[in-house]
Structure 1
Amino acid sequence: MTAAGAGSVAPASAVPALPTPELLREIEERYYTEADLLDDREFAAWLDLLEDDLVYWMPLVRNVQSRQTGETTRQGEDMAWFDEDKSTLAKRVAQLRTGMHWSEEPVSRVSRLVTNVRIVGTEPASGEVTVRSKLLLYQNRQEDEVNLFVGKRFDTWRRRADGSFGLARREIRLDQNVLLAKSLTVFF
């Protein structure tokens, strides 16, 4: 995905010069911090990691023949599981915190595993870093309801004035086209 991105994803073969080990480690640490905040239900602190102009998008995945294109839906034109911004995510967090969200009462137990973190692009002028990662999300609800979400994320992190990185864009591509979960209350 390019910094200007709006849904364009850099192919895996378009690998730029290797980032510095320090930059890669800083980005990896951002992912691990984010996963811990979400797993621990520290949603207010997680929202602080998000940029005000955030694009948070999870397209639907379609089964297409190998000669066809369009495996995922198009942002702004087709249906999506999520097509949100920071304000809608904040509203979802507020709803969860009421204690009256039927699909999260009692709350789910969730663990996120983030792996294969790779920097695929940098834009020094804007301070943006484009990153691919893999995600395995385990969710357990009630006594016997288990959901597994597996997929890839294409993110843009932007360097802030204080030196930290804020999430400016996230595209989540699950590797399943039919979700068996009864609801999508988790954050990816």
Structure 2
Amino acid sequence: MSPDLALATGSALLYRQGRLLDERRWQDWLDLFTEDCQYWVPAWLSEQRQTQDPDREVSLIYYDLRSRLADRVWRVQSGTSVASDPMPRTCHAIGNVQVDSADDDRIELFACFRVDYHWRARSDAFFGHYRHTLRREGDRWCIARQKISVLNDYIPTLLDFYLV
């Protein structure tokens, strides 16, 4: 795969992901992920060092299968998630998308993000870096791994998948 095609493919998927989250199209968002996906927001150990192993260290969010991510989405949709009531309004901005490596079946991406949100008469933002591994499944590209490094020093509300 050419670098230009990998960048266009990866950027389009990341932009779509942000839009689906902003529009609360949860099932369409889940459909972007592989069944064996990893969705990970590591915690910070120090000013410069994040946790490295989600199985042995603290994470802000960690789902190691799409079914576990789907369970969290179900709780949000069903209204049984007290932390998601009311749902915040969000606006995902994704930029500086770069291809780290690519071949015909895999793309490794880096990107920056900012998510502005309004919740309970308060507006704020989360910002940071994404690292994605995209994998071709049949005729479409899916997210096999998403690592989200939140760079905020202070997290003013419960962090959830729709806020990053």
Q: TM-score, normalising length from structure 1?
A: 0.79
Task: Name the counterpart of 2:151.
Answer: 175
In the TM superposition, residue 61 of structure 1 has moved relative to its aligned partner by 1.6
In the alignment, structure 1 residue 161 sits paired with structure 2 residue 141 = no
1:8-34 per-residue CA deviation (whole Å, 9 max, x = no partner) reads xxxxxxxxxx94323311211111111
Task: Name the counterpart of 2:17.
Answer: 34
In the TM superposition, residue 177 of structure 1 has moved relative to its aligned partner by 4.1
Task: Name the counterpart of 1:14.
Answer: none
Name the CA distance, whole Å, in 2 between partners of 1:51 and 1:111: 24
Name the CA distance, whole Å, in 2 between partners of 1:170 and 1:51: 11
Task: Name the counterpart of 2:72.
Answer: 92
In the alignment, structure 1 residue 61 sits paired with structure 2 residue 44 = yes
Q: Give yes or no for contact 1:63–1:177 (8 Å, CA) kept in 2.
A: no
Max radius of gyration: which structure? 1
Superposition misfits of 4+ residues, deviation over 4 angstroms:
none
Aligned identity (percent) is 22
1:99-149 per-residue CA deviation (whole Å, 9 max, x = no partner) reads 24222222210110000000001244xx11000000101111122x22311
Q: Give yes or no for contact 2:43–2:51 (8 Å, CA) kept in 1.
A: yes
Q: Flag structure 2 segments of 5+ consecutive residues without an equivalent.
A: none
Task: Name the counterpart of 1:186.
Answer: 161
- Larger strand proportion, structure 1 or 2? 2
Task: Name the counterpart of 1:107.
Answer: 87
Q: Give yes or no for contact 1:59–1:73 (8 Å, CA) kept in 2.
A: yes
In the alignment, structure 1 residue 80 sits paired with structure 2 residue 59 = yes
Residues 19/119 of structure 1: CA separation in 2 closer, same or farther (3 Å cut): farther
Name the CA distance, whole Å, in 1 between partners of 2:133 and 2:161: 20
Corresponding letter in the other structure for 1:27:
G
Name the CA distance, whole Å, in 2 between partners of 1:134 and 1:174: 10
In the alignment, structure 1 residue 149 sits paired with structure 2 residue 126 = yes
Task: Name the counterpart of 1:67.
Answer: none
Name the CA distance, whole Å, in 2 between partners of 1:149 and 1:19: 32
Q: Flag structure 1 segments of 5+ consecutive residues without an equivalent.
A: 1-17, 65-69
Q: TM-score, normalising length from structure 2?
A: 0.90
Q: CA RMSD in A?
A: 1.8
Q: Give yes or no for contact 2:3–2:99 (8 Å, CA) kept in 1.
A: no
